[in-house]
């Protein structure tokens, strides 16, 4: 499988389009995206109070992963002496320095927002963050006993001296650096204590027996604060001189030499274990930590001082997600019941619905339950002969996998491609792979050197003495939980041409087929880049003929330089281009004479915009592809991806209407400026919050496709 050939137009790229000023750095673009996530917390009226806390947690978790993967990669390049410049002309070290500057400013904004804005508002609503030192003696006595019974047994203090080498500090762990004085010898000693992840990070004081404050307020105490103030129980006959929290983030990318891996599953398991031991890429400390203690950590963790980040406030703010368990619905997003059109049409019989015509679902506004029902019905249907499916991220307690296991037990042929290399989901996927193998399913792990990211299900059913195939093609994962918070499309069809393509693709994934010609599907790494660029170039030709060229692309990231150049060329010819890109965008819009006709928007709201949709006016014969692929080299060259055409003209209109609505958003949308920065879209038109409108339509049990934006 390969996608090496360029279109004739691509081969003649002008040297002008090589100008670094026409491109945005991939890593810095991601930092800008995470700034937009943080801004959802910074804006007081954007979300209910606890949802703002959630966005602070998401921002912090995103940043941890960014350092574990992307910053770690930049540091590797620098240490290896790589001086190659990025597409915008920066060396690895220059990128690291700019990232550090911007991230430190983001930490300042985050903590200012949380401590000076959100916390006072939480207090007004009866939620207090308290410090141990401010509690009364009677309250401290109760907590002393609570610590002894509930926390002390879990803790493991580790001495550091000539007989005890500096202990390993695991990835993402919060720790205490403790300096002690031996009361007999008066010798100073050093110890490390890990704050256990098996306990809640936020201690609910209002839920501890015997702890009485005389009111009904919710009081939260950071676990490390409780531990710090009870260290004498861990170190008898010692005086605690000082104690300071620190947090470590390590390189967590797994490198796999698949040609040398006889058992990929075993190799991935080893990689997961080694992830804990990667080099330190960020050390978080608080301002109060003295230089001497910092130097001990820098020396023993073997880091460059530039990897040390001084952060005010509690470390590891991603743990604030625990606050979402607080029962205060008035300070959270209003719950909603997704629309289930298939249940409404045919009582939930998914096969019957597909026989009536292609079905399009837009999650989370449309329920994910029909997809679960499809696999469940197939497992229990005596007329179903086989099920083939790709699994990338399915999560825990997956009803999809349970249904597949049941299908095997019902005697059906079940073939499942489980992508073991789905980053940070490897452990879940290994468990499901083994469970499926144990019941007798055919389990494969994809092609050597490629991640399988395509979202496909193929069901073969006997009907009236002939075989009929049913398909589910999606833009998101087979995960009912994330389907409630990610926007994604599901396409259900029995189209024979698509079924033939999907059958051929499964044969390529599970066997030795070298099939590379598909009728309707666009497949990476076979031809995605080539086909996307050819459709961009085709739009240029149509525009030259009739002057109505239009392209809309919605994706998570746009990085591929060849595709960006094709979009620049189309803009130069006058084609109107709207790009809806949630995260990374390396294209620069609005450059005079280059990208005047390109607009880039990013929507950050209640739901994670995850769907990919590619629209081309095509001379009035509208064409739309949905699928799993973003326009990034990794998706085009190093993954198995599938983009599929929407075949039904009415459903093409539905997706186009969805895209036009998102483009009209002037509440949750950001516009990218020619300097690469973003600003919120604000205009004098009536407010359009696209996600709220989709929700409103779903709550009325109407198809979201009925909405039309005035003037579009």
Largest separation between any pair of C-alpha atoms in the chain: 92
- 360's CB contacts (< 8 A; 6+ apart) are 489, 490, 491, 492, 646, 648, 651, 654, 655, 705
The alpha-helical segments, DSSP class H, found in 67-181 are 72-79, 92-113, 119-124, 137-146
Candidates 452, 437, 376, 442; CA nearest to 414 is 442
What angle (nearest 5°) sits at the alpha carbon of residue 287, between those of residues 285 and 288?
A: 100
Q: How far is CA 91 from CA 17, 27, 73, 645, in A?
A: 20, 12, 13, 40
Strand 188-194 relative to strand 174-182, pairing: antiparallel
| Burial category of 15 from C-beta neighbours within 10 Å (exposed 0-12, middle 13-18, buried 19 and up) | exposed
Rounded CA separation 471/491 (Å): 8
Rounded to whole angstroms, the Cα distance separating 465 from 470 reads: 16
Q: Considering only CA atoms, which of 98, 240, 114 is closest in space to residue 179?
A: 240
Which residues partner with 188 through β-bridges?
A: 181
* Inter-axis angle of helices 92-113 and 72-79, nearest 10: 150
- Output 208-212 pairs: Cβ under 8 A, ≥24 positions apart: 208/142, 208/143, 208/146, 210/142, 210/145, 211/139, 211/142, 211/143, 211/146
Cross-strand partners of 194? 175
Q: What is the DSSP letter of 704?
A: G
- Name residue, tokens 């996307």: 532
Rounded distance between C-alpha atoms, residue 527 and residue 476, angstroms: 21
Tokens of 267: 């190799």
Distance of alpha carbon 474 from alpha carbon 455, whole angstroms: 5
- The C-alpha atoms of residue 294 and residue 305 are separated, in whole angstroms, by 9
Residues 317 and 115: their CA atoms lie apart, in Å, by 12
Of 269, 676, 645, the residue nearest 493 (C-alpha): 645
Q: Which of 312, 539, 272, 558 is nearest to 425 (CA)?
A: 272
d(CA 322, CA 503): 44
Q: HSE of 406 in the Cβ direction (CA atoms, 13 Å)? A: 16
Q: What are phi and psi of 228, to 5 degrees?
A: -55, -35
CA distance 22 to 592: 11
Based on the residue annotation, tell me whether 638 is a catalytic residue of this protein: no
Instruction: Please report the DSSP string for 454-520 in residue order.
Output: -EEEEEEEEETTEEEEEEEEESS-S-TTGGGTEEEEEEEE--HHHHHHHHHHHHHHHSS------SS
Catalytic residue among 453, 472, 543, 610: 453
- Asked if residues 521 and 491 have their Cβ atoms less than 8 Å apart, the reply is no
In the chain, the N- to C-terminal Cα span, in Å, equals 40
| Integer CA distances (angstroms), 365 to 83, 542, 607, 625, in order | 47, 35, 10, 20
The Cα–Cα gap between 375 and 410 comes to 13
For the chain, how many helices (H) and strands (E)? 21, 27
The two three-digit tokens of residue 170, written as one number: 């695991």
- Report the catalytic residues: 453
């Amino acid at each position: 499988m390969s996608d090496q050939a360029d279109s004739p137009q691509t081969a003649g790229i002008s040297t002008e389009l090589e100008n670094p000023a026409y491109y945005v750095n991939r890593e810095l673009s991601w930092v800008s995206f995470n700034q937009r996530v943080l801004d959802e917390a910074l804006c007081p009226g954007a979300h209910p109070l606890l949802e703002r806390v959630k966005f602070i947690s998401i921002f912090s978790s995103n940043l941890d992963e960014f350092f574990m993967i992307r910053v770690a990669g930049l540091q590797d390049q620098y240490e290896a002496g790589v001086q190659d410049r990025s597409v915008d002309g920066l060396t690895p070290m220059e990128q690291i320095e700019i990232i550090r500057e911007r991230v430190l400013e983001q930490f300042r904004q985050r903590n200012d927002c949380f401590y000076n804005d959100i916390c006072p508002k939480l207090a007004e609503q009866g939620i207090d963050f308290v410090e141990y030192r401010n509690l009364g003696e009677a309250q401290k006595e109760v907590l002393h006993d609570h610590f002894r019974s509930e926390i002390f047994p879990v803790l493991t203090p580790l001495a550091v001296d000539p007989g005890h080498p500096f202990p390993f500090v695991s990835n993402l762990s919060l720790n205490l650096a403790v300096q002690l004085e031996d009361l007999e010898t008066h010798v100073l000693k050093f110890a490390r204590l890990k704050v256990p992840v098996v306990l809640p990070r936020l201690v609910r004081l209002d839920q501890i027996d015997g702890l009485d404050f005389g009111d009904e307020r919710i009081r939260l105490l950071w676990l490390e604060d409780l531990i710090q103030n009870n260290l004498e129980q861990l170190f008898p006959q010692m005086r605690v001189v000082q104690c300071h929290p620190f947090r470590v983030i390590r390189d967590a990318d797994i490198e796999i030499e698949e040609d040398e891996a006889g058992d990929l599953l075993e190799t991935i398991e080893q990689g997961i274990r080694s992830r804990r031991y990667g080099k330190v890429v960020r050390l978080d400390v608080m301002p109060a930590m003295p230089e001497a203690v910092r130097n001990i950590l820098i020396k023993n963790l073997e880091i460059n001082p530039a990897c040390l980040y001084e952060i005010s406030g509690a470390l590891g703010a991603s743990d604030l997600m625990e606050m979402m368990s607080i029962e205060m619905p008035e300070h959270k997003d209003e719950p909603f019941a997704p629309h289930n059109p298939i249940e409404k049409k045919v009582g939930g019989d998914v096969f019957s619905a597909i026989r009536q015509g292609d079905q399009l679902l837009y999650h989370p506004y449309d329920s994910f339950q029909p997809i679960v029902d499809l696999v469940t019905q197939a497992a229990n249907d005596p007329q179903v002969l086989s099920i083939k499916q790709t699994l990338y991220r399915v999560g825990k307690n997956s009803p999809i996998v349970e249904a597949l296991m049941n299908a095997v037990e019902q005697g059906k042929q079940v073939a499942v491609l489980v992508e073991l290399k789905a980053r940070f989901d490897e452990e879940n996927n290994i468990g499901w792979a083994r469970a499926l193998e144990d019941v007798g399913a055919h389990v494969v792990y994809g092609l050597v050197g490629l991640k399988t990211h395509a979202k496909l299900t193929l069901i073969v059913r006997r009907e009236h003495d002939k075989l009929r195939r049913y398909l589910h093609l999606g833009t998101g994962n087979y995960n009912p939980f994330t389907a409630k918070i990610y926007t994604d499309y599901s396409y259900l069809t029995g189209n024979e041409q698509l079924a033939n393509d999907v059958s051929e693709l499964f044969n390529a994934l599970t066997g030795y087929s070298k099939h590379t010609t598909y009728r309707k599907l666009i497949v990476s790494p076979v031809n995605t880049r080539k086909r996307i660029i050819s459709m961009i170039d085709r739009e240029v030709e149509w525009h030259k003929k009739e002057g109505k060229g239009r392209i809309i692309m919605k994706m998570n990231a746009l990085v591929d330089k060849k595709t960006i150049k094709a979009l620049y060329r189309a803009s130069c010819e006058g084609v109107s281009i709207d790009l809806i890109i949630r995260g990374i965008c390396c294209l620069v819009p609005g450059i005079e004479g280059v990208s005047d006709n390109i607009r880039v928007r990013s929507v950050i709201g209640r739901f994670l915009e995850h769907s990919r949709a590619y629209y081309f006016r095509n001379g009035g014969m509208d064409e739309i592809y949905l699928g799993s692929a973003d326009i990034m080299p990794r998706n085009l060259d190093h993954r198995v991806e599938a983009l599929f055409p929407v075949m039904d003209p009415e459903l093409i209109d539905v997706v186009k209407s969805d895209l036009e609505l998102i483009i009209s958003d002037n509440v949750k949308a950001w516009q990218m400026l020619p300097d690469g920065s973003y600003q919120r879209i604000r205009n004098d038109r009536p407010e359009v919050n696209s996600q709220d409108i989709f929700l409103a339509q779903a709550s009325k049990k109407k198809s979201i496709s009925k909405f039309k934006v005035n003037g579009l």
